[in-house]
Amino acid sequence: MKRVFLILSLTLPLHAAAQIKNDLDGRFLMAETKQVGQFFRRFNSEEGFKGKRFSRRDSMYHNKTMRQFYISNSFDKFNHNISESLKASFVDQVVNKDPQFLDFHGGDWFAQVDAMFVYNGKLEHGILFLSLEKENKGYKWVLSNIYFHPFVEMFNNVTDGWDTKSYGKPKMKKYIHPKSHELHFINLKTALNDTNVLEDYIKNNHQPDFLTLFIFEMKRKKLALRSINKVKFHFFQIKNWYFELTEMRRESKNSGWLISDMAFVSEKDKNLLKQYVFMRKNVVNP
C-alpha cells in the first residue's frame, strides 16, 4: 500500500502539470489579454484565461506551469527583434531561477501616451509620461514628464556646450561680466533683451523643466490636446530586465497587450535606460 501511495505521489504532480498544459494549449488567448491589469494577473498566475481570479489557496495561484506557458506566449510574435533565446532566458529567470512577480502598485513602471496637440494653431506630436502615485487610501495616474519637440527646439541653441554649426568646436558663449555687480547689473537689460542667446546666461548643466512649461502653455490656452494616438508601458520592476508592453490590435491569436520590446539590463544601468526612454538627460525618476 505504501508503494502504491509513493507511486501516486510522484506521478500525480506530473499528471496535473500535463493536464494544465493540455488545457492551456486549447484555450490560450481565446480570451486575449484585453486589459493591462489582466496582464499583471496572468503574468503572476492570479487569473485564468476566462477571467476567473484564483484564491491564494488555489493550486493554480502562482502556478509555475501556468506562468511559464502564459509568459512564453505573451510576446509579440511578429516582432523578430526579440530573440527566442532572450525570451527563454527571461521566462526561465522569472518563473524558475529567481521567481518574480509584477506588482501593480509597486512602482517602476510607467505609461507612455503618444498624442497630437494644437500649439499656436499648428498640429504637433508630443509624448506624455505618466506614473501611479499614492493618494490617501488609493492611487492615481499623474503626469511625470513630457517630450514635446517645439519645447526642445526652443532650448536647442546649445547642445552640451558645443556649437553644432561650427563643426564641433566649443561654442563661444556670451556672458555677464564678472564685475557687473559693481554697476548694479545694469547690463542685464541688454543681455536679456537678446532672446536668441538667453541660454548663454543660465548656469551650466541647467535643464529646462518641460512639464512646467507644458502646464504654463496649457493655462495660456496656447496648447491643447487634440487626440491620443497610442499608449504603451515601460516596465523596470523585474530584476536585471526591462520590457515594453503594447496593445496589438489585429486579426490574430497573438493580439491584445503583448511584450513588444525587451532587454537584459543590470540594475546599475537601469537609470541610464530610463534617461534614454524619457528622452531627457535630467529625467527625474517619475
pLDDT per position as a tens digit, 189-238:
998 898 888 888 888 777 788 999 999 999 999 999 999 999 999 999 99
Per-residue pLDDT, 20 = 54
In tens, the pLDDT along 53-76 reads: 999 999 999 999 999 999 999 999
Per-residue pLDDT, 148 = 92
Q: Per-residue pLDDT averaged across 120-147, rounded? A: 94
| Cα–Cα dist 199/156, whole Å | 9
Please check whether residue 142 is in contact with residue 133, taking contact to mean a CB–CB distance below 8 angstroms: yes
pTM above 0.85, yes or no: no
Mean pLDDT of the chain: 84
Residues of the chain above pLDDT 70, percent: 81
* 160 against 88, higher pLDDT: 88
Burial 22-49 (b: 16+ CB within 10 A, else e): eebeeebbeebbeeeebbbbbbbbbbbb
DSSP H helices in the chain: 2-27, 36-43, 64-72, 84-92, 149-154, 188-193, 210-219, 270-277
Per-residue pLDDT, 173 = 79
| Cα–Cα dist 76/88, whole Å | 14
Rounded to 10 degrees, the C-alpha dihedral 174/180/186/192 comes to 20
Ramachandran bin of 284, using left for φ above 0, alpha for ψ from -120 to 50, beta for the remaining angles? beta
Could you tell me where the beta strands, DSSP code E, fall in the chain?
Answer: 109-119, 122-135, 138-148, 223-235, 241-248, 256-264
In tens, the pLDDT along 170-203 reads: 567 788 889 988 888 999 999 889 888 888 888 8
Per-residue pLDDT, 85 = 96
Alpha-carbon distances of 51 from 54, 63, 103, rounded to whole Å: 9, 16, 18
Per-residue pLDDT, 130 = 96
In this prediction, residue 21 has a pLDDT band, given cuts at 50, 70 and 90, of low
In tens, the pLDDT along 83-124 reads: 999 999 999 999 999 999 999 999 999 999 999 999 999 999
In this prediction, residue 167 has a pLDDT band, given cuts at 50, 70 and 90, of very low
pLDDT beyond 90 at 264:
yes
| Cα–Cα dist 182/166, whole Å | 35
Per-residue pLDDT, 23 = 53
In this prediction, residue 158 has a pLDDT band, given cuts at 50, 70 and 90, of very low
